[in-house]
Amino acid sequence: MTGDTLYRGKQVGRSVPRIEGRAKVTGRAEYIHNLRLPGMLVAKIFRSTVAHGRIRRIDVSAARAVEGVHQVVTGADIRSVIANPYYGPAFHDQPILALDKVRFVGEPVAVVLAADPHVAEAAAQLIVAEYDELPAVFEEVEAMTSKAVVHDVLKPAGTFADLKHLENRRDTNVALDYHLRRGDVDQAFATADRLFEHTFRTQQVLHLPLEPFVSVAETNGSTVTVHTASQGPSFVRTEIARLLGWPENRVRIRTAYLGGGFGAKLYIKLEALAVALALLARRPVKVALTMEEQFYQITKHPCTFRIKSGVKDGRITARECEVWWNGGAYADIGPRVTQKSGFTAAGPYDIDNVKIDSYALYTNRPPAGALRGFGIPQLVWAYESHTDLIARELGVDPLEFRRKNILRNGRPQATGTVMRDAEIEAVLERIAARMDWRKPVERGTGTIRRGRGMAIGFKAVIAPTTSVAIINLSADGSCAVYCSTVDMGQGSDTVIAQIVAEELNLPIEVITVVHPDTDVTPYDMGTLGSRGTYHMGNAVRLGCEDVRVKIRALENELNLAPGTNVPVTELFKRKYGMQAGNIVGVGSFVPTYKSPDHDTGLTPNATPFWMIGGSGAEVEVDTETGHVKVVKLVNVADVGRPINPKIVEAQLSGAATMQLGFTMFEEMQLDAGQVTNASLADYKIPGLRDLPAMENEAVAANQHDGPFGAKGVGESGTFGVSPAIANAIHDAVGVRLTELPLTAEAVYRALRKAQNNPIEDA
Interface residue with other proteins among 128, 672, 680, 759 (CB under 8 A) is 680
Does 491 bind other proteins (CB under 8 A)? Our answer is: yes
State how far the Cα of 221 lies from the Cα of 243, in Å rounded to an integer: 15
Does 403 bind other proteins (CB under 8 A)? Our answer is: no
Active site includes 30?
no
Does 209 bind other proteins (CB under 8 A)? Our answer is: yes
Does 702 bind other proteins (CB under 8 A)? Our answer is: no
Does 645 bind other proteins (CB under 8 A)? Our answer is: no
Catalytically annotated residue among 666, 715, 739, 760: 715
CA distances from 252 to 106, 222, 231, 233, 596 (A): 29, 11, 15, 9, 35
Interior CA angle at 215 toward 714 and 369, to 5°? 45
3-class SS of residue 429? helix
Q: Assess contact for 274 and 216: CB atoms under 8 A.
A: yes
- Measured distance between the N- and C-terminal CA atoms of the chain, rounded to whole angstroms: 73
Region 553-572 residues binding other proteins, contact defined as CB under 8 A: none
| Residue 65 or 153 with smaller CB distance to other proteins | 65
3-class SS of residue 736? coil
Interior CA angle at 637 toward 631 and 641, to 5°? 140
CB-based burial of residue 479 (10 Å sphere; 0-12 exposed, 13-18 middle, 19+ buried)?
Answer: buried
Does 22 bind other proteins (CB under 8 A)? Our answer is: yes
Alpha helices in 301-423 (DSSP H): 334-336, 376-394, 398-405
Q: Count residues near other proteins (CB under 8 A).
A: 57
State how far the Cα of 484 lies from the Cα of 295, in Å rounded to an integer: 27
User: Which segment (115-123, 140-148, 595-603, 737-745) binds other proteins by CB under 8 A?
Assistant: 115-123
Does 17 bind other proteins (CB under 8 A)? Our answer is: yes
Residue 104 DSSP code: S
Does 600 bind other proteins (CB under 8 A)? Our answer is: no
Q: Which helix (H) or strand (E) holds 434?
A: helix 424-434
User: Which segment (57-65, 205-213, 552-560, 612-620) binds other proteins by CB under 8 A?
Assistant: 205-213
Residue 689 DSSP code: G
CB of 26 vs other proteins, minimal distance in Å: 6
| Residue 383 or 665 with smaller CB distance to other proteins | 665
State how far the Cα of 267 lies from the Cα of 23, in Å rounded to an integer: 27
Does 3 bind other proteins (CB under 8 A)? Our answer is: no
| Residue 28 or 629 with smaller CB distance to other proteins | 28
Q: Assess contact for 536 and 492: CB atoms under 8 A.
A: yes
Residue 560 DSSP code: P
Interface residue with other proteins among 658, 664, 699, 751 (CB under 8 A) is 658
Nearest to residue 221, comparing CAs of 287, 270, 281?
A: 281
Does 125 bind other proteins (CB under 8 A)? Our answer is: no
Interface residue with other proteins among 2, 13, 14, 20 (CB under 8 A) is 20
| Residue 3 or 21 with smaller CB distance to other proteins | 21
Does 258 bind other proteins (CB under 8 A)? Our answer is: yes
| Residue 116 or 193 with smaller CB distance to other proteins | 116
Does 654 bind other proteins (CB under 8 A)? Our answer is: yes
Does 37 bind other proteins (CB under 8 A)? Our answer is: no
Residue 302 DSSP code: P
In sequence order, the β-bridge partners of residue 132 are 54
Does 495 bind other proteins (CB under 8 A)? Our answer is: no
User: Which segment (24-32, 239-247, 588-596, 729-737) binds other proteins by CB under 8 A?
Assistant: 24-32
Alpha helices in 487-613 (DSSP H): 492-504, 532-557, 568-576
Region 261-320 residues binding other proteins, contact defined as CB under 8 A: 261-262, 290-292
Nearest to residue 46, comparing CAs of 65, 69, 73?
A: 73
Residues 6+ apart with CB under 8 A from 474: 480, 582
| Residue 142 or 292 with smaller CB distance to other proteins | 292
Interface residue with other proteins among 90, 119, 127, 621 (CB under 8 A) is 119
CB of 489 vs other proteins, minimal distance in Å: 3
55-74 mask for other proteins (x: CB under 8 A)? -------------x------
CB of 586 vs other proteins, minimal distance in Å: 29
State how far the Cα of 70 lies from the Cα of 111, in Å rounded to an integer: 11
3-class SS of residue 128? strand
Q: Assess contact for 641 and 634: CB atoms under 8 A.
A: no
Q: Assess contact for 508 and 515: CB atoms under 8 A.
A: no
Does 208 bind other proteins (CB under 8 A)? Our answer is: yes
Does 493 bind other proteins (CB under 8 A)? Our answer is: no
| Residue 291 or 433 with smaller CB distance to other proteins | 291
Residues 6+ apart with CB under 8 A from 561: 555
Say what angle helices 721-733 and 376-394 make with each other, to 10 degrees: 30
Interface residue with other proteins among 395, 592, 687, 704 (CB under 8 A) is 687
Interface residue with other proteins among 657, 663, 703, 722 (CB under 8 A) is 657
Does 25 bind other proteins (CB under 8 A)? Our answer is: yes
Does 394 bind other proteins (CB under 8 A)? Our answer is: no
Torsion, CA 76, CA 327, CA 337, CA 253, rounded to 10: 30
State how far the Cα of 81 lies from the Cα of 73, in Å rounded to an integer: 12
The alpha carbon of 114 is separated from its chain's Cα centroid by a whole number of angstroms, namely 34
Q: Assess contact for 612 and 348: CB atoms under 8 A.
A: yes
Q: Assess contact for 477 and 567: CB atoms under 8 A.
A: yes
| Residue 212 or 616 with smaller CB distance to other proteins | 212
| Residue 327 or 714 with smaller CB distance to other proteins | 714
| Residue 305 or 662 with smaller CB distance to other proteins | 662
| Residue 507 or 686 with smaller CB distance to other proteins | 686
User: Which segment (31-39, 102-110, 183-191, 470-478) binds other proteins by CB under 8 A?
Assistant: 31-39
Does 598 bind other proteins (CB under 8 A)? Our answer is: no
- Residue 359 corresponds to which amino acid? Y
| Residue 551 or 694 with smaller CB distance to other proteins | 694
CB of 394 vs other proteins, minimal distance in Å: 37
State how far the Cα of 103 lies from the Cα of 450, in Å rounded to an integer: 46
CB of 278 vs other proteins, minimal distance in Å: 21
CB of 713 vs other proteins, minimal distance in Å: 13
CB of 695 vs other proteins, minimal distance in Å: 10
- Active site members: 715
Sites of contact with other proteins (CB under 8 A):
15, 17-18, 20-29, 31, 33-34, 36, 68, 116, 118-119, 207-212, 257-262, 290-292, 488-491, 646-647, 650, 653-654, 657-658, 679-681, 685-689, 691, 694
